[in-house]
């Protein structure tokens, strides 16, 4: 079943560094057939100058899947976007929201909110170079900027450059004084501003990100008129609680949802292949720790995988032993 990325973006799992790798995305796709998945941010210089094409590897089962790029040089981003399209990604996203020091030193991520004309040049070059849709993920502003003035101007410029789909993290990024972790929590959320931008730019597909922890919150924001909702940490730490019901509740799919147990069983052949190819069990199971969140035995599941997943020769039997410690579905913690 081929699912269009724009349709899928009604619900998306946010790109998260060190978390949303291909093993994580394979698990998330088992839990939801329709949710849009994103890679970790891949820098354009790593692809174009460093030749790190292994960063583009993904499993065909992950579709619909978007590649998030970091960079600020239009020609280099165009080349990276072309590589991403050739690899088969359904969407190419430009990161204008990450506040880390490493990103700032490369003049990309959230610092690009201060350079909307450059962003416009970047997305125009990316779109011209390849056929996949180019989208943007941004903040409402940075540092002492006034979001009420900055965000509309930013959206106007990227729209003029051809962007038709944007995800707005509804917080400022403070590039000085706050760590990347603090930037995910401390700046206040402004959902109302994002809703006003949706009304002010009716031809833009606007998704919201930031502080959304449940499907009920996502449904409420969609009901208020937003086109999409992107969930980050909650989807990672409680993947079954967010994604197992997503297809039914967000997309109206009436097929029975996959249970966490069924997802684990479906992961076993994948794990076996990964280990047989020389991979480590923990590279996969670290993304599975939250599958049984809220169930009796969830702590024992996490502990067993954490203690045994790194051991030499560990394979599917470790996962099966951990699953035996989890109470049957329907039991409450």
Task: Show which residues are catalytic.
Answer: 98
Residue 72 CB contacts under 8 Å (≥ 6 apart), including other chains: 106, 107, 108, 112, 115, 118, 122
Cβ contact 27:2 at 8 Å: no
How many CA within 13 A on the CB side of residue 98? 26
Q: How far is the first Cα of the chain from the last one, in angstroms, to the nearest whole number? A: 36
Q: CA nearest 59: which of 266, 227, 230? A: 266
3-state secondary structure 169-201: ECCCECCCCCCHHHHCCCCCCCHHHHHHHHHHC
CA distances for 19 relative to 38, 40, 142, 252, 286, angstroms = 11, 7, 25, 28, 9
Structure tokens at 272: 């076996």
Cβ contact 289:319 at 8 Å: no
**Strand 36-43 versus strand 11-13 pairing type:** parallel
**Strand 11-13 versus strand 205-209 pairing type:** unpaired
How does DSSP classify residue 142?
Answer: B
Find the helix or strand (DSSP H, E) in which 76 lies: helix 74-87
């Amino acid at each position: 079943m081929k699912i269009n990325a724009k349709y899928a973006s009604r619900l998306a799992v946010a790109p998260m560094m060190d978390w949303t790798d291909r093993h994580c995305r394979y698990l998330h796709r088992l839990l939801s057939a329709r949710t849009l998945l994103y890679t970790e941010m891949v820098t354009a210089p790593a692809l174009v100058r460093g030749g790190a094409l292994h960063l583009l590897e993904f499993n065909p089962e992950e579709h619909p899947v978007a590649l998030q790029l970091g960079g600020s040089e239009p020609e280099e981003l165009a080349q990276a976007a072309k590589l991403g399209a050739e690899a088969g990604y359904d969407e190419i996203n430009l990161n204008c929201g990450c506040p880390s020091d490493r990103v700032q030193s490369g003049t990309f991520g959230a610092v690009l909110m201060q350079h909307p004309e450059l962003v416009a040049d970047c997305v125009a070059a990316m779109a011209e170079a390849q056929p996949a849709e180019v989208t943007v993920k941004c903040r409402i502003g940075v540092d002492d900027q006034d979001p009420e003035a900055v965000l509309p101007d930013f959206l106007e410029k990227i729209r003029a450059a051809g962007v038709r789909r944007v995800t707005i993290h509804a917080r400022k990024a403070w590039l000085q004084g706050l760590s990347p972790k603090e930037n995910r929590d401390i700046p206040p959320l402004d959902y109302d501003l994002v809703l006003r931008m949706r009304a002010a730019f009716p031809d833009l597909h606007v998704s919201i990100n930031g502080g959304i922890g449940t499907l009920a919150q996502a449904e409420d924001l969609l009901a208020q008129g937003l086109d999409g909702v992107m969930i980050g940490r909650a989807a990672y730490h409680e993947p079954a609680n967010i994604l197992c019901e997503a297809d039914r509740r967000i997309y109206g799919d009436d097929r029975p949802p996959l249970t966490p147990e069924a997802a684990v069983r479906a992961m076993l052949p994948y794990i076996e292949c990964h280990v047989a190819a020389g991979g480590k069990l923990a590279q996969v199971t670290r993304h599975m720790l939250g599958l049984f969140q809220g169930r009796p035995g969830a702590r024992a599941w996490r502990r067993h995988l954490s203690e045994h997943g790194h051991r030499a020769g560990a394979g599917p039997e470790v996962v099966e032993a951990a699953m035996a410690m989890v109470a049957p579905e329907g039991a409450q913690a």
